[in-house]
Structure 1
């Protein structure tokens, strides 16, 4: 898996998470004005591996 960080057409930072088979499995859902804020959001997703699943 890997995260792709990019700048969209509105000049905002976004990320997309790709699986090992290069399929998109998640995205930022919003743009960030600061690159550091986008990286912080990526780190939140990385760190949420132990979050509970609710149905």
Structure 2
């Protein structure tokens, strides 16, 4: 499920939650709700293609990934994972769940 919410700075953000309610992908802040909704649509479209995911190891030796649009812009960032395998499982979860996920608005 995608959750749309407003952060403390008043920007709209989304997060994609797995069936176990863990956050698996989060967005940047958007000034308008419509921009946030467009971001969700971009995730749904781009999550179907494994080549749109960028797997990275951080300086603290944790793993994370970005989902990028066709133009190379990051549209979502994962949580930190302890292992590369965990991050790869996160990518698989986004690929399987994002395209058909429902969208709800929540209070943060």
TM bracket (short chain): 0.7 to 0.9
Show CA shifts across 1:5-35 (max 9, x none).
000000000001000111110000x210110
3-state SS of 1:47 partner: helix
Residue 52 of structure 1 deviates from its aligned partner by 3.5
- Equivalences, count: 53
What corresponds to 2:30 in structure 1?
32
Displaced runs of 4 or more, over 6 A: none
Gap runs ≥5 in structure 2: 56-108
Greater relative CO (CA pairs within 8 A, separation 6+): 2
CA RMSD of aligned residues (A): 1.6
What corresponds to 2:47 in structure 1?
49
Task: Identify the structure with the greater helix proportion.
Answer: 2
